[in-house]
Amino acid sequence: MTSLTRLESDNLRRLEEMRATFEKLRAERIRAEGEVERLTRELEQARELARAEFGTDDEDRIAQLIENALSQNAKLVDEFGAALRDIEARLKQLGGER
């Protein structure tokens, strides 16, 4: 009977040692659940903003829109550079005619 009591005592001691770990993990779970809720709200807000700004919240479509905008921007920069070179050439011609 003594060994059963010793076994029970050992089990109680082990359970008390595990209680701290259990409480720590429970607190961590609660914190993680709160973080998931917060991130879910932020994601939905970002999706709403994307739909308002770009008309879609599809990542692939937004990436394509960005790629198109970058290509268009490069084209406009090239056109602006050509216009500046043309103006510069005309000014040189005017200067040479004097």
Rounded to the nearest integer, the mean pLDDT of the chain is 93
Q: What would the pLDDT profile of 2-32 be if each residue is shown by its tens digit?
A: 567 988 889 988 999 999 999 999 999 999 9
48: CB partners within 8 A, 6+ apart: 57
| 57, 50 contact by CB (below 8 A) | yes
Instruction: Please report the pLDDT score of residue 97 as a whole number.
Output: 64
For the chain, the domains span 1-57, 58-98
- Burial class, 73, CB count within 10 angstroms (exposed 0-12 / middle 13-18 / buried 19+): exposed
Model confidence at 98: pLDDT above 60: no
Name which residue leads in pLDDT, 2 or 43.
43
What is the pTM for the complete model shown?
Answer: 0.59
Quick one: average pLDDT of 61-72? 96
Question: Is residue 1 very low, low, confident or very high in pLDDT (cuts 50, 70, 90)?
Answer: low
